[in-house]
């Protein structure tokens, strides 16, 4: 969750002097996990590291979910295609190990340990939200980025587990209800296309607006844009207007007229 916190702080407070340091901290943490606690060949995420040793304890569903949350936030902060690719790989592994195909939601454990007689699913969103609640928001973000219909199906089935009980259980599943709100909101993407320095005024304007259901995407033209377009085809045709950093406000992958000024972007992001 530290990765998510620092990456989001850098994204929503880009004009603070500490924003660059926050983003660098999130990147270092993510790279450490990638280098020392993640085995891409087996898809195993380990959950502890000490004195150079990370072996012994494989991650639980909550470890995968929390890391995916952080990586998605980091992707929104710096637009590096590596983070989106890793988030998708992590999600695929979490689903393969913990997804309950019969009832929906994610078990806490894989079920491979014979000493664990009963696989449980945690629903309570306490000091740490449950793996299923975080995963609902993760999959909604990934579906709003890539149009992944299977991700939306998993979200729908997980939310459907609660049915009429959701209202009565509101106090104990607040994160899940945040996912329910996101499910009913229109998918929104705000893309700022341009080099980092040129795009800063538009990025700062986007950060000033409270848009809890929007995904913010900084995109650098050229090779980075082409790499992102492989997973997010709606980004491929975007072009800078008059050679300037350009913002696109999109809903369900349909974009409004591109704008190049903070004022014009503010008008498109205004409620109503």
Tell me the mean pLDDT in the region 249-258.
Answer: 93
Tell me the pLDDT tens digit for each residue of 135-145. Answer: 999 999 999 99
Burial 150-162 (b: 16+ CB within 10 A, else e): ebbebbebbbebb
Spell out the residues 6+ positions from residue 139 whose beta carbon is closer than 8 angstroms to its own.
91, 148, 151, 152, 154, 155
Task: Give the rounded distance of the alpha carbon of 259 from its chain centre.
Answer: 25
Tell me the pLDDT tens digit for each residue of 52-68. Answer: 999 879 999 999 999 99
Tell me the pLDDT tens digit for each residue of 3-28. Answer: 999 999 999 999 999 999 999 999 99
What is d(CA 257, CA 264) in angstroms, rounded to the nearest whole number? 10
DSSP 47: -
- What is the predicted pLDDT for the residue at 104? 94
Chosen CATH of 2-184 out of 1.50.10.20, 1.10.1040.10, 1.10.10.10, 3.40.50.280: 1.50.10.20
Tell me the pLDDT tens digit for each residue of 197-238. Answer: 899 999 999 999 999 999 999 999 999 999 999 999 999 999
Write down the mean pLDDT value for the chain.
94
Q: Going by DSSP bridges, is the β-strand pair 246-251/38-39 parallel, antiparallel, or unpaired?
A: unpaired
- What is the predicted pLDDT for the residue at 177? 94
CB 217 within 8 A of CB 192: yes
- What is the predicted pLDDT for the residue at 55? 83
Tell me the pLDDT tens digit for each residue of 83-120. Answer: 999 999 999 999 999 999 999 999 999 988 777 778 88
In percent, how much of the chain has pLDDT > 70?
A: 100
- What is the predicted pLDDT for the residue at 112? 81
- What is the predicted pLDDT for the residue at 209? 94
- What is the predicted pLDDT for the residue at 272? 65
For the chain, the domains span: 2-184, 188-269
In percent, how much of the chain has pLDDT > 90?
A: 83
- What is the predicted pLDDT for the residue at 210? 92
User: Which of 29-38, 78-87, 122-131 is predicted with the least confidence, judged by mean pLDDT?
Assistant: 122-131
Tell me the pLDDT tens digit for each residue of 179-197. Answer: 999 999 988 999 999 998 8
Tell me the mean pLDDT in the region 43-57.
Answer: 91
Q: Which CATH class is domain 188-269?
A: alpha beta
Using pLDDT thresholds of 50, 70 and 90, give the confidence band for residue 126. confident
């Amino acid at each position: 969750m530290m990765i998510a916190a620092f990456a989001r702080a850098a994204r929503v407070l880009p004009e603070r002097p500490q924003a660059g340091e926050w983003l660098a901290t999130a990147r270092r943490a993510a790279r450490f996990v990638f280098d020392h606690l993640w085995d891409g060949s087996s898809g195993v995420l380990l959950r502890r590291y000490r004195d150079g040793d990370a072996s012994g304890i494989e991650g639980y569903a909550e470890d995968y979910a929390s890391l995916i949350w952080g990586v998605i936030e980091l992707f929104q902060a710096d637009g590096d295609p590596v983070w989106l690719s890793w988030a998708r790989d992590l999600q695929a592994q979490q689903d393969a190990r913990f997804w309950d195909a019969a009832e929906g939601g994610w078990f806490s454990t894989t079920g491979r340990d014979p000493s664990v007689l009963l696989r449980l699913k945690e629903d309570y969103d306490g000091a740490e939200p449950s793996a299923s609640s975080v995963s609902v928001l993760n999959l909604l973000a990934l579906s709003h980025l890539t149009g992944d219909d299977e991700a939306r199906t998993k979200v729908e089935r997980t939310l459907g587990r609660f049915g009429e009980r959701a209202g009565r259980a509101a106090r104990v599943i607040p994160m899940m209800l945040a996912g329910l709100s996101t499910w009913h909101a229109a998918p929104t993407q705000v893309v700022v296309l341009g080099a980092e320095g040129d795009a800063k005024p538009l990025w700062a304007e986007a950060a000033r607006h409270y848009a809890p259901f929007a995904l913010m995407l900084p995109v650098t033209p050229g090779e980075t844009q082409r790499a992102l377009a492989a997973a997010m085809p709606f980004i491929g045709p975007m072009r800078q207007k008059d050679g300037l950093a350009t913002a696109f406000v999109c809903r369900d992958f349909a974009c409004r007229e591109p704008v190049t000024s903070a004022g014009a972007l503010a008008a498109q992001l205004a409620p109503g």
